[in-house]
Amino acid sequence: MESQKNYQYAIFKTQWGWFGLLGNEQGLIRTYLPVAHKEAVQSRMLSDFPNARQRVARPSWPCEIRKAIEGYYKGQPVDFSDITVHLDGFSEFQRTVLTALRTITYGNT
């Protein structure tokens, strides 16, 4: 995977617990599902991406994603298809699967 020096993360509370986002200027790289403690999300992120830094200012990439995720955990139908994801570092097979999964709409399997 590419250098992590430009990776930034945001951690926020949802109705299900603390959620984490990791990304860069090219898009979302990873999400961390809700857990009970904020520190657990941060610890996991920094274990996976030790050079990532917490985003203090509100960058554009997590704002739209955060709103969608908060809505999702409130039970609202949410469309994540317009969120830019950064798939560098994934194999061709992984990119194909992830791209196909993104076409499945809310409530469908």
pTM > 0.85:
no
- Go through the domains of the chain in sequence order and give each one's CATH number: 8-101 (3.30.160.70)
Instruction: List, run by run, the mean pLDDT of 10-residue segments along the chain (109 residues).
Output: 74 95 90 97 94 71 85 93 89 95 87
**pLDDT tens, residue by residue, 61-85:** 678 899 999 999 999 999 988 898 9
- Give CA–CA dist 35/38, Å, rounded: 7
pLDDT at res. 34: 97
Tell me if 10 sits within 8 A of 20, measured CB to CB: yes
